[in-house]
Structure 1
Amino acid sequence: MSQLLTLEVPDNARPVRLPTERGVFAAFDVVPDGQVPARATALLVPGFMGSKEDFLPVLPSLSNGGVRVLAIDGRGQHETGGASSEPSYSRDDLASDLVAIAKHVNGPVHLVGHSYGGILARAAVLTTQGDPSLWASVTFMNFGPSGVSSWQRERLQLLLSVIDSMTLADMWPFVRNKEASAPPGVEIFLEQRWLRNNPMQLAAAAEQMLNEPDETPQLARLSIPKSVISGTPDETWVPEEVERMAHDLGASFARIEGGGHSPNVHRPAETASALLDFWLSHQKAAAA
């Protein structure tokens, strides 16, 4: 579960609704102020039980670096809800949502998938064969080559065993991160966010995290620029496997010590720096 330490929203972050051919998605749209020229657009995809708020700590630095940022709630998450009248939570359908958002903002976008969001980001890139009109690059943050670690598997299997028989409110005391401390207002938000999730989406995501195949070879064959960020320590995807995936992809790699599973929260300056360095270096290479 993503841990939040603050809900402070930057002044230039506008809560928006993105109308796409796949439905309407809640997002923060962060546009650089007039003092910094806009040089790129990034699409940030949260993980399991996450939301656009997970990226709040990195938004100011990314915006100051000249990047327009869209941080979204995925289908079934928080303020997006079902997105359309007949929602599906299959991996391929959720990946198609990302394609639709990229089209809506007239890509290409720098795509970033955190944790479970990495599953969807990879599927979106593979489905479109790395289409350069959609994707300027793809970054995986604390996401490994296939299914989650054995420790996380036990937690997901437990969730799946009770999700049809317990309400989300009854489940909250068991899923909240008891070892983490957060300001009272953030704790209230985390509970409210959990209650707004769609149980069908949670179950589908849990199944996908348990059964995700290793599609590293297929992705490695695509020419799209790739990077991997690994916050450590992490119990969801083993950091050694994350680094090995980066090597097999020929991707840029950044290890962020002390970042844990959410380096965007615990080490936002280092995370934003790694993203900007990667994005802007590839833009310079493309322009050369």
Structure 2
Amino acid sequence: MHGIGGNASSCGPLAAMLSAQGYRTLCWDAPGYGASADPAGKMDHSGVVLDVLAWLGIGPVHLIGTSWGGVIATRVAAQAPEAVRSIVLADSTRGSATTKEGAERMLARVPELAAAGPHALAARRAPNLVSQSAPPSIAEAVRAGMAAVRLPGYSAAATMMAESDTSALLPHLQVPALVLVGEDDVVTGVTESRILAQNIPGAAFEIIPGAGHAAIQEKPAEMSAAILAFWKRLK
């Protein structure tokens, strides 16, 4: 599950590597992103995930969420642990409501997008999502993903993040968890990922060298190796 500035293609290279090892992988466009219809009214993103899994008739599943997608994964695991085999939280967070200022900054992104448009938003924000060592092609893919966001989907995502603080959920999660973070992540950061790992019972934690917030795109091979090793330990 992609971040607030991404879409299904953001997860494509990692998904391909996991598929090559025999796993069936599904990358979603969240409501209002990519090929998915725009949401009408307030969204329950975790509920939509569970509806999709029920419609597909699959589960329990391994959920991988990067940034905002990790917040969704956390909520799904808390709401319906029977549907989840494990969660991977990549460069994720407890949500923006851990502080009043964080929630306000998240909500401020919506009028910024409405006024400036997605290409200007991407030009401002995308460079911070990758490490300074990221190849230009990866930096461009991250920018292009953000430039493709639409106001209804982004607004719903920002509203969810501004209302989210999963701190109280973490100690009660009943599914295995792996927390991954790029060492150069300046958006959510290593410290926030450590908090996630320290508060989820039995969670594994790993730092991905040379990666920024978009580690899932910058270092898919390293991410895949960490995830596959984690899944192997679960067998």
Shorter-normalised TM range: 0.7 to 0.9
Counterpart of 1:218 in structure 2 is 169
Identity within the alignment, % = 23
What aligned pairs does 1:80-159 form with structure 2 within 5 A after superposition? Answer: 80-82=36-38, 87-90=40-43, 93-103=44-54, 104-128=56-80, 130-131=81-82, 134-147=83-96, 156=106, 158-159=108-109
CA contact (8 A) 1:233 1:260 kept: yes
The SS at the match of 1:264 is helix
Distance 1:146 1:174, change over 3 A: closer
CA contact (8 A) 2:78 2:172 kept: no
CA contact (8 A) 1:149 1:235 kept: no
CA contact (8 A) 1:81 1:198 kept: no
Amino acid of the structure 2 residue aligned with 1:182: P
Aligned-pair CA distance for 1:155: 6.2
Q: How far apart, CA to CA, are the structure 2 residues paired with 1:197 and 1:48?
A: 8
Q: How far apart, CA to CA, are the structure 1 residues paired with 2:152 and 2:11?
A: 24
Q: How far apart, CA to CA, are the structure 1 residues paired with 2:26 and 2:221?
A: 18
Q: Given the alignment, which residue of 231, 239, 247 partners 2:190?
A: 239
Q: Are residues 1:57 and 2:9 paired?
A: no
Aligned positions, number? 228
Aligned-pair CA distance for 1:62: 1.0
Q: How far apart, CA to CA, are the structure 2 residues paired with 1:165 and 1:99?
A: 34
Q: Are residues 1:160 and 2:110 paired?
A: yes
Q: How far apart, CA to CA, are the structure 2 residues paired with 1:80 and 1:170?
A: 23
The structure with higher relative contact order (CA 8 Å, sep 6+) is 2
Q: How far apart, CA to CA, are the structure 1 residues paired with 2:215 and 2:126?
A: 19
CA contact (8 A) 1:144 1:242 kept: yes
Q: How far apart, CA to CA, are the structure 1 residues paired with 2:173 and 2:125?
A: 37
Aligned-pair CA distance for 1:87: 3.2
Distance 1:219 1:54, change over 3 A: same
Aligned-pair CA distance for 1:56: 2.4
Distance 1:113 1:183, change over 3 A: closer
Distance 1:170 1:217, change over 3 A: closer
The SS at the match of 2:62 is strand
The SS at the match of 1:72 is coil
CA contact (8 A) 2:2 2:10 kept: yes
Q: Are residues 1:75 and 2:31 paired?
A: yes
The gaps in structure 2 that reach 5 residues or longer are none
CA contact (8 A) 2:118 2:150 kept: no
What aligned pairs does 1:258-277 form with structure 2 within 5 A after superposition? Answer: 258-277=210-229
CA contact (8 A) 2:123 2:143 kept: no
Aligned-pair CA distance for 1:111: 0.6
Counterpart of 1:257 in structure 2 is 209
Q: Are residues 1:278 and 2:230 paired?
A: yes
Q: How far apart, CA to CA, are the structure 1 residues paired with 2:124 and 2:88?
A: 31
- Structure with bigger gyration radius: 1
Measured on the aligned residues, the alpha-carbon RMSD in Å equals: 3.1
CA contact (8 A) 1:229 1:254 kept: yes
Normalized against structure 2, the TM-score is what?
A: 0.81
Distance 1:169 1:238, change over 3 A: closer
Q: How far apart, CA to CA, are the structure 1 residues paired with 2:88 and 2:184?
A: 19
Higher relative strand content: 1
Aligned-pair CA distance for 1:181: 6.3
Normalized against structure 1, the TM-score is what?
A: 0.68
